[in-house]
Structure 1
């Protein structure tokens, strides 16, 4: 499917049928899509000044997330892999055309789709508001409302940093994002942004590309800081435990983007190369790439604050589906519950499906619970290396420490299952 993400006056040559997308504006028609208008307004309201290249990168990310919502996987021959063509209007099409293949490869790794990107002139120029400000924050962090970013914020503040917290607003997490930003380090500068994608018809549910726009929000804010204006490089912290970041397939059928790759070292490494090529002095860091979630909790610099806030954070992959409660049985919930056991503190989180060992389709027989049980059974019977397979086959992965981290992470999950009697 083809999407044209450009002002209505721009019509590419040999224009076949395509979904027209209005970036930073209203669709104006039920047959069109739109994204980014609310984010543009909020950035302007806070009187921030992202650079032109960062704004182009945000435009690309908004086009990608619109395609991710608007192109369904069902009609694909294999029910998953999509063919997506994007024509994107930017301010510097000459430069971005040199990055079309690296971007397509990065997106292919993230979503396991086939992407083709073309860049057109005439992209929206961000107009700095009067009285624009250059915040004094020394870095940027992505603050999701999740447990890992909570730990990350606490640790960064304890280390003397003053990060600008950037949140991608999600229903059920907006208030806790505000609360966390207000508490961490005595209060962090904070902005909440949303892509606000609107597409004709029912959106695709899988949405593997959302992390790109979250990072693009962070890049845009990083280039608006005083440190960036002084010519410094600005760290952008993407705080995710290494076990989930690697997301090694638990079983042979959980391959590719069926498991998310939003903080995978290869994905972040490929993005960093694109940022470097664009002369965007923003450095992506995941400080917890070789730590399990349990180790993140145990090593957190402010145990009292973490103990106060941990239970109200969000980890569940189905949080909205269960009326903003943790399901307790998806892989992220199991990793969270195992982390509390490793931490040694009572888990006050309310789980919809609490007794994992109960022998029915909602508990021990649920797919994600079975997958974890099967992974640990394979490790016991065939060894860890056989289970791991080719999961570390990437030039961006520090193999030795990562392998040890995955062993420890799987052991945390094994303890969880033994504690609840999962068989």
Structure 2
């Protein structure tokens, strides 16, 4: 599927039949719009964004618009899409030099086949008559999730002063604001607000790129950046979910998220470096399990106050803004609370008792997948189960990652044994 992405009225030769994506503007009937609200909020905040960071934001918005609009079920194999983007930016010569790198990063993230081409005429960042350069020393992505909460708590406890950037998600906005306030953090909440004429693709595997793009944009507005210093951009995710090894042979590729995988983040970092964007992506918890993050959090009292209110579920909105209790992220969360053992896990799970022998609990696909992984390790050994999960040039400390994954799987094993599932 082909998309033409740029200001209203932007065209390229041979775009007949392509879907028009209006970036930062109002779409006509039958077109897609994206990014207008985010531009407005950044303008109101008087943030002065680097031109190339703004171009990357335009690219990310185009990617998300395509990801929402291209329906997987309509592809040849029912999953893998062929997506072609023609994107209007400020610096098309530079971005065309990075097109293959961006395509590779997106293919790793979503397993779709992406082709990107860049053209002149894109919007630049909003002009600021009274630009603000926030004095924070870094940016932290604050999602409302448990890992990002722990990350923010730990940074503050270590004397770091991050600016919190959130992607506004229905059901999480209030807790994002509450977490930031409790830590004394400045925060901006942004959203791509993609509107497409037809049904949206539910998998949305590329959505994480916009969160990083928002963080990158804000990072380039900081006073530290404008003084020529490197700005850390913290994405805090436990290592088990970041690697997200396929639990069974059927959970491959896009069926497992790669939002914080070191290869995806490493590919993007290479592009930022080539762009001269002096921002460094960091995940301090790449070698930690979720249970270890909880147990080792530097402010246990604050964590105890907020942990239950955090969100982990992969189907949170689908279940009326409640944790389903049975998806893989929910199981990892529940296992981490058992590892922590400092408070009872009073999260109201829709499917609480995983030991019930029915399709909604013990026989639910994600619960069975974890059980199969545990059985595979018990029968064939950890290395057999791990397979090629750590075969990436962006993973240097393979021994460290291997040990972390073994500990993470053991946390899940403790959860399953508590419900007599193994």
- Same topology, TM > 0.5: yes
2:128 corresponds to? 129
Tell me, in whole angstroms, the C-alpha distance in 2 between the residues paired with 1:127 and 1:66.
Answer: 21
**SS in structure 2 at match of 1:140:** strand
2:375 corresponds to? 377
Tell me, in whole angstroms, the C-alpha distance in 2 between the residues paired with 1:399 and 1:109.
Answer: 19
2:8 corresponds to? 8
Q: Does 1:66 align with 2:56?
A: no
1:200 offset after TM fit, Å?
1.3
Tell me, in whole angstroms, the C-alpha distance in 2 between the residues paired with 1:280 and 1:63.
Answer: 20
Tell me, in whole angstroms, the C-alpha distance in 1 between the residues paired with 2:254 and 2:88.
Answer: 28
1:383 offset after TM fit, Å?
0.3
Tell me, in whole angstroms, the C-alpha distance in 2 between the residues paired with 1:30 and 1:141.
Answer: 37
Tell me, in whole angstroms, the C-alpha distance in 1 between the residues paired with 2:389 and 2:104.
Answer: 18
1:110 offset after TM fit, Å?
0.3
1:14 offset after TM fit, Å?
2.3
Q: Does 1:197 align with 2:215?
A: no
CA contact (8 A) 2:168 2:189 kept: yes
Tell me, in whole angstroms, the C-alpha distance in 1 between the residues paired with 2:325 and 2:221.
Answer: 39
1:387 corresponds to? 385
For each residue in 1:5-59, what CA deviation from the matched residue of structure 2 results, as whole angstroms up to 9, or x when unmatched? 02233321222311111101111x2200010011001111111010110100000
**SS in structure 1 at match of 2:72:** coil
1:257 offset after TM fit, Å?
1.2
Q: Report matched runs for 1:54-203 at 5 Å.
A: 54-184=53-183, 187-203=184-200
2:32 corresponds to? 33
Tell me, in whole angstroms, the C-alpha distance in 1 between the residues paired with 2:8 and 2:297.
Answer: 50
Tell me, in whole angstroms, the C-alpha distance in 1 between the residues paired with 2:82 and 2:165.
Answer: 31
CA contact (8 A) 1:358 1:422 kept: no
**SS in structure 1 at match of 2:185:** coil
Q: Report matched runs for 1:305-344 at 5 Å.
A: 305-344=302-341
CA contact (8 A) 1:56 1:90 kept: yes
After TM superposition, the score normalised by the length of structure 2 is 0.99
2:226 is aligned, of 220, 229, 237, to 229
**SS in structure 1 at match of 2:33:** strand
After TM superposition, the score normalised by the length of structure 1 is 0.98
Tell me, in whole angstroms, the C-alpha distance in 1 between the residues paired with 2:382 and 2:2.
Answer: 43
1:19 corresponds to? 19
Q: Which runs of 4+ in 1 moved over 3 A?
A: none
Q: Report matched runs for 1:344-383 at 5 Å.
A: 344-345=341-342, 346-383=344-381
**SS in structure 2 at match of 1:157:** helix
Q: CA RMSD in A?
A: 0.7
Structure 2 unaligned runs (5+)?
none
The number of aligned residues is: 420
CA contact (8 A) 1:48 1:128 kept: no
1:287 corresponds to? 284
1:215 offset after TM fit, Å?
0.1
**SS in structure 2 at match of 1:22:** strand
**SS in structure 2 at match of 1:74:** helix
Tell me, in whole angstroms, the C-alpha distance in 1 between the residues paired with 2:167 and 2:230.
Answer: 23
CA contact (8 A) 1:326 1:351 kept: yes
CA contact (8 A) 2:4 2:10 kept: no
Tell me, in whole angstroms, the C-alpha distance in 1 between the residues paired with 2:136 and 2:8.
Answer: 38
1:127 offset after TM fit, Å?
2.6
1:63 offset after TM fit, Å?
0.1
Tell me, in whole angstroms, the C-alpha distance in 2 between the residues paired with 1:7 and 1:220.
Answer: 19
**SS in structure 2 at match of 1:315:** coil
For each residue in 1:150-207, what CA deviation from the matched residue of structure 2 results, as whole angstroms up to 9, or x when unmatched? 00000000010110000001010000000000001xx101000000001110000000
Q: Report matched runs for 1:223-262 at 5 Å.
A: 223-262=220-259
1:396 corresponds to? 394
1:4 offset after TM fit, Å?
0.3
